[in-house]
Amino acid sequence: MQDSSKEIQIAQLRDALRKQIGHSREKKACYRAFCLLMILKGQRISDIAEALGEHTRTIERWRKRFNEQGIEGLLDDTSPGRPSRLSQEEMAAVARDLQSPPGAFGLEGDRWRGKQLQQHLQQNYGVELSLRQCQRLLKRLSGTPQPRANPHTTPAVTHDTAIRINEH
């Protein structure tokens, strides 16, 4: 019974760790760096993989990327996804627009909602987005600012640093 309880705790801790990491490039890179640190501390890749629920080949790939590119190799490339229909300048202008009530643009209501933003984008920017996409955009632009991935603020370790992680 003790072993199954321990396995449940391990599974719960893994799930909590994955939820905390989420889709953040920086958090994923820290997680990968931690895995590589464990290799440097003498842990076997198979033990690390088992403990964290990763495949050994995944950790091997991270080690290879680190050896070839340094800490930058632990960062994921940005997801391609669909390009935004709004340019960065337009996005900044929309963010400024959201500082004023919808009435300032001839729209109903004293608070921005997805429907008003949808109308505003169509009338002022010639961009048609779905209601749900407008709701997401509204949350992103008027909510609490989220830290953005900035390649200039990665950790100070560079590829020039002569750290190599060898097999055990």
Whether residues 59 and 118 share a domain: the answer is: no
**Which has the higher per-residue pLDDT, 22 or 64?**
64
Whether residues 72 and 115 share a domain: the answer is: no
Q: Would residue 7 count as lying in a domain?
A: yes
pLDDT at 168: 62
Segments in the chain forming alpha helices (H): 2-21, 25-40, 45-52, 56-69, 88-97, 114-125, 131-142
- In tens, the pLDDT along 102-159 reads 999 999 988 999 999 999 999 999 999 999 999 999 998 886 443 444 545 444 444 4
Whether residues 6 and 65 share a domain: the answer is: yes
pLDDT at 5: 86
- In tens, the pLDDT along 54-81 reads 999 999 999 999 999 999 999 988 766 7
Whether residues 6 and 73 share a domain: the answer is: yes
- Residues 86, 96: contact at Cβ < 8 Å? no
pLDDT at 145: 40
Q: Would residue 149 count as lying in a domain?
A: no
Structure tokens at 2: 């003790």
Whether residues 28 and 66 share a domain: the answer is: yes
Residues 22-33 have a mean pLDDT of 90
- Domain containing residue 101: 88-142
pLDDT at 11: 87
Whether residues 119 and 53 share a domain: the answer is: no
pLDDT at residue 163 above 90? no
- Residues 45, 60: contact at Cβ < 8 Å? yes
Whether residues 107 and 73 share a domain: the answer is: no
Structural domain total, the chain: 2
Q: Would residue 157 count as lying in a domain?
A: no
